[in-house]
Amino acid sequence: MIPLVLLHGFTGSPRTFDELRQTLPPDRPVLCPLLSGHGGAPFPTAIGTFLDEVDRLASAIAEWFAEPVHLAGYSLGARLALTLMLTYPEQFARATLVGVNSGLTTAATRAGRRGQDAVWARLLDQGDLITFVDKWEQQPLFGTALPQSSERRAAQRWERLEHDPRGLAQALRVLGLGEMPNQLPHLKHARVPCELVVGELDTAFRAHAARIIEACPHIPLHLVPDTGHNVPRESPEALARILMSEENGP
């Protein structure tokens, strides 16, 4: 059975995938590494760039699994997964990219995104994580999510509130979209088979997926019904089915 590596999104943690993992076969090898800047400790000073984090994750995965793995990432985790599969193709049998942006195409758009992330980072620098999370959850990106159970809402909020705000601030500065290379030109020549997953209600990332498929029409797209951006939290069972159904080929 192919090992599965799951990469969470910004403000997430390995607990993002708790419900998904309950749906997988109990003997499935699964690794859910904590991304830099997340958790209770500040951001490691040794990680200076987006690509440094990609290298760190590749080394961590290689320490756990000698054979190629199925790599899946959500949002920030999907951007890291995309760069991992392009940079270290020998480590991955396939990749599932959930809510992925393949990268900004111009210096102007990268500078604009860096400016937006800097505003969020300055808020985190003040140390008021509750205010940050309140404002973060009010973004239009998360406004399409259907009502979830009170247990799911509580679990997601506590997951976001468990982090050190200084670490999240550094994660925004180092791992933000403005720091990621544009990977769309390289995706056309990818050696690792991959598929895209997007929530049906996530109009922003459906547009990102359409841009990828226009350039790479061979890449399959899974639309998860009645789901917004946070597919692992909103529809973990559907995502688990996609992960398992795609095991036998691209």
CATH code (residue 119) = 3.40.50.1820
Query: Which tens digits make up the pLDDT trace of 51-87?
Result: 999 999 999 999 999 999 999 999 999 999 999 999 9
Look at residue 165 and tell me if it is in a domain.
yes
Look at residue 250 and tell me if it is in a domain.
no
**How far apart are the C-alpha atoms of 194 and 187, rounded to whole Å?**
10
Q: Is the pTM of this model over 0.75?
A: yes
Look at residue 29 and tell me if it is in a domain.
yes
Chain mean pLDDT for the chain: 92
**How far apart are the C-alpha atoms of 80 and 138, rounded to whole Å?**
25
Specify the pLDDT at position 45.
59
Look at residue 215 and tell me if it is in a domain.
yes
**How far apart are the C-alpha atoms of 93 and 54, rounded to whole Å?**
17
The percent of residues above 90 in pLDDT, for the chain, comes to 84
**Residue 248: pLDDT above 50?**
no
**How far apart are the C-alpha atoms of 233 and 112, rounded to whole Å?**
29
Specify the pLDDT at position 249.
44
Each residue of 162-181: b (16+ CB within 10 Å) or e?
ebbbbbbbbbbbbbbbbbbb
Question: Which one, of 133, 115, 136, lies nearest residue 178 by Cα?
Answer: 115
Number of domains in the chain: 1
Any bridge partners for residue 56, and if so which?
Answer: none
Residue range(s) defining the domain that contains residue 187: 4-245
Mean pLDDT of all residues in 158-182:
94
Look at residue 178 and tell me if it is in a domain.
yes
Look at residue 66 and tell me if it is in a domain.
yes
Specify the pLDDT at position 44.
59
If residue 181 lies in a helix (H) or strand (E), which one and from where to where? none
CA atoms within 13 A on the CB side of 114: 11
146 against 176, higher pLDDT = 176
Q: Return the DSSP state at 35.
A: P
Lowest model confidence (mean pLDDT) among 53-67, 82-96, 138-152, 236-250? 138-152
**How far apart are the C-alpha atoms of 82 and 99, rounded to whole Å?**
11
